[in-house]
Amino acid sequence: MLSYRRRGQEFATSTEEAIGVVRCFNSGHGWGSATFATLDEVRSAISTAHEFSLALPTRHSIRLSELPPRQADIPCPEGRDPRAIDVAIKRDFVRRGVESLRSVDRRIGDVRVKWEDQLTEVVVVNSEGMVLVERRPSISMTALAVAAESGTVERALGSCSTAGALHDVETWLGGISAISERAVAALHAVPVIPGRYPVVLAPTFAGLLVHRVIGHRCAAGWHPGAALLPIGTRIGPDSLTIGDDGKTPGLRGTSAFDCEGTQPQNTTIVQNGVVVGHLHTRASAGAAGLGATGNARAPAAGFPTSRLTNTYLAKGMGTGADLIRDLDLGVYLGEPLSATDDGMVTLRAGLGRMIRRGELAEPVKGASLSGDPLGLFGMIDAVGADFTWDTAAATCSLGGQTVPVGSGAPHIRLVEALVGDQS
């Protein structure tokens, strides 16, 4: 990990981490699990996990969905091992990022650029004969630009993530100055006037909304005790098709197998506006009498639960410009900053634009999109064809467990949504 700020380099550090976890259940009992740091400790961890399981009688027996055992050893894709990249090249990437951010405007003050790469070797074995090994490379860069003028301070953020492909980082670096441009533009952006507007969401914003509201509610591990959206629930118009795709190469949530050894798949969870599927671990699938979907995920030593991988809203018709063209007045939200979902969903936007007479007009800041979670999807009246996967270094945190995720969507339009002002 390398980090630079305006004043110069902040730090350079490296970490070697080794951790494993054994989990175990006995018929009529619950799950026991124990971690280990070295192979010498595995036998003791198995014994502890076994004892812990026996200590927990359960009302319902755990049933795992069937999974044929297989063996595979998947090497790091050729040319993608970040350890082979000379550290001078990594430092050069970061310095170029800092220079590009600073060169945009004299009002850019502090900037920060961070490089982080890792190679993770994941091994999954089970008592049914599964033995899987995969080496997963990852490179991410994050950038922050701070613009200041006459006491007003504005920030903009950006990031990219790739499965070890240096040219992806190079491409992102080529457009990094847009982050500074957003920070500068925000200096003179006006606060949005709160109210109900037609709202057009950029693909990154739409992707976050889909992940947060529909994806979470269709993954069996999203909240303890929380009910999943029932199969057959209509969430919006026929133009909505939503899925979770853990197998498309190069995305943040992609892997050859999940924490239980199941091969991730492309699972449709909403078809033509109606919920048609859920995302499962072997245990949640077993309880539902279904097959696992390859969504058992957890950080290194966590307990796998059903989590999203790369969630997407499939493309519809038209471009972003098409969605804007017939609006006399509306709001365009292009940069999601954060999302909360606690009965009401609120997504906070960075820089946005007003839409006037069918065109993007003056920049606005401090806008937020709020509403009843499913109600927001009922407001969607157009889905664009300009689908893109977001390449940002996104993560999803639930119950203290953070996993990398991807999202993808085209532009979408909400016919009348509540836009708030946080400025």
> How many angstroms separate the Cα of 206 from the Cα of each of 255, 322, 355?
24, 16, 17
What is the CA 236 to chain-centroid distance, rounded?
22
Q: What is the DSSP letter of 298?
A: -
149 touching another protein, by CB under 8 A: no
* 282 vs 348, beta carbon nearer another protein: 348
Q: Which residues pair with 142 in a beta bridge?
A: 114, 159
> Which of helix, strand or coil describes residue 261?
coil
What is the CA 394 to chain-centroid distance, rounded?
4
What is the CA 44 to chain-centroid distance, rounded?
36
Distance in Å, CB of 146 to another protein, minimum: 6
* 208 vs 324, beta carbon nearer another protein: 208
Cα separation, 113 vs 171, in Å, equals: 16
47 touching another protein, by CB under 8 A: no
> Which of helix, strand or coil describes residue 21?
strand
> Per DSSP, which regions of 264-351 are E strands?
266-271, 274-275, 296-297, 305-306, 310-313, 329-333, 336-342, 344-349
Residues 6+ apart with CB under 8 A from 279: 218, 219, 220, 244, 267, 269, 293, 295, 306, 307, 308
60 touching another protein, by CB under 8 A: yes
Distance in Å, CB of 29 to another protein, minimum: 8
* 62 vs 385, beta carbon nearer another protein: 62
338 touching another protein, by CB under 8 A: yes
234 touching another protein, by CB under 8 A: no
226 touching another protein, by CB under 8 A: yes
Q: Which of 135, 155, 234, 247 binds another protein (CB under 8 A)?
A: 155
Number of residues that bind another protein (CB under 8 A): 70
Q: Which of 77, 81, 91, 321 binds another protein (CB under 8 A)?
A: 91
227 touching another protein, by CB under 8 A: yes
Q: Which stretch binds another protein (CB under 8 A): 242-250, 257-265, 339-347, 351-359?
A: 339-347
56 touching another protein, by CB under 8 A: yes
Backbone φ and ψ for 291, nearest 5 degrees, come out as -95, 150
7 touching another protein, by CB under 8 A: yes
Residues in contact with another protein by the rule CB under 8 A: 1-3, 7-19, 21, 30-35, 37-38, 48, 52-53, 55-56, 58-60, 62, 87-88, 90-91, 109-110, 146, 148, 153, 155, 194, 223-227, 283, 287, 301, 303, 337-338, 340, 342-344, 346, 348, 366, 368, 370, 372, 420-423
